[in-house]
Amino acid sequence: MKQYQTLLYYCYTAIENAGQFAAEHLEFCRSINLVGRIIVADEGLNGTVSGTREACKTYMDTVLADPRFAKTDFKIDDVDEPSFIKMHCRYKAEIVHSGLRNPAIINPAKQTGKHLEPKEFMEMKDRDDVVILDVRSNYEHALGRFKNAVTLDIENFRDFPARINELAKYKDKKILTYCTGGIKCEKASALLLHEGFKEVYQLHGGIIKYGKEAGGKDFEGKCYVFDNRLAVDVNSVNPKTISTCRNCGKTTSKMINCANPECNEHFTQCDECGWKLDGCCSETCQAHPRKRPYDGTGYYVKVPQPVNVSKKLKLIS
């Protein structure tokens, strides 16, 4: 049994004084020696945290005991070591950046696409009247995606609303949306419904849950994750590598961040090119004076941003 776990989760729910809650929640996580990245907004909570099995259980029990977060669905991975180095918990305008901040129009707590459990999704995805829609960014679906999925040319999820007109030809189809853990689908499916799509569904728990409960069938490639693992296996039924090295074109599933911090682009690169270019996407970035040392992983710790912590902190109850 592995000693550590990584938890992926989100919950759309109203949080009063969310900035203060973020500060208090950070101290709580540090008190039980968790590491990870959590975003807190007025609209809810979104995080990936990692630590010992005991610490992760304490965290889940505490979060679920709070009525606001009682329906939080935790995706749990057993890992050999913590998936982060530091603990961050920050207040932001949204728990996933979409630019859709008008709750009168888009409010996942009130209306989203119908949630499909992994086995339901698997049974529906190949029907003639169904379109599978990947709502993730280019670098994510380039690494791995469902067979026959429709993808959009977006650098970030905030670009999704501007691309929605490209999907108009599918309005007479059932739209099955998916993403890593489900959070992006909440707003994507809500927007599709708002734009007149009649039958919109979303994969509950995302790709990660689908891998655990449906064997990942027909998910081709690996799944990008937002921690130091960068990419994880999903498909244990019919796995296939679909991504290629940006530099030489060789088949590879290794995802890295460019070693030049002013670039920091996410891309796939084989080990040979990685060492040749010191983990950079190009010779230009390799020559950059701020280039970070490359250790073969392509993962770099972000510099933490300051968080205002009150003198009297209260753990969530």
pLDDT tens digits, 51-67? 999 999 999 999 999 99
Instruction: Check whether 306 has a pLDDT greater than 70.
Output: no
Q: Which of 179, 185, 273, 280 is catalytic?
A: 179
DSSP for the chain reads: --SEEEEEEEEE---TTHHHHHHHHHHHHHHTT-EEEEEEETTEEEEEEEEEHHHHHHHHHHHHHSGGGTT---EEEEESS-S-SSEEEEE-S-SS--S---TTT--TTT--PEEE-HHHHHHHTTSTTEEEEE-S-HHHHHHEEETT-B----SSGGGHHHHGGGGGGGTTSEEEEE-SSSHHHHHHHHHHHHTT-S-EEEETTHHHHHHHHHTTTTEEE-EE-SSTT-EE---SSS-----B-TTT--B---EEE-SSTTT--EEE--HHHHHHTTT-SSHHHHT-TTPPPP-SS---PPPPPP----SS-----
pLDDT at position 302 is 58
Q: Which fold has domain 4-91?
A: Alpha-Beta Plaits (3.30.70)
Residues 137-149, mean pLDDT to the nearest whole number: 97
Instruction: Check whether 303 has a pLDDT greater than 50.
Output: no
pLDDT at position 300 is 83
Of 83 and 105, which is predicted with more confidence? 83
Class of domain 114-217: alpha beta
Mean pLDDT for the chain? 93
Domain regions of the chain by residue span: 4-91, 114-217
The region of weakest confidence among 171-180, 222-231, 239-248, 267-276 is 222-231
179 is a catalytic site residue: yes
pLDDT at position 105 is 72
Question: Over the stretch 186-218, which tens digit does the pLDDT of each residue have?
Answer: 999 999 999 999 999 999 999 999 999 999 999
Instruction: Check whether 309 has a pLDDT greater than 70.
Output: no
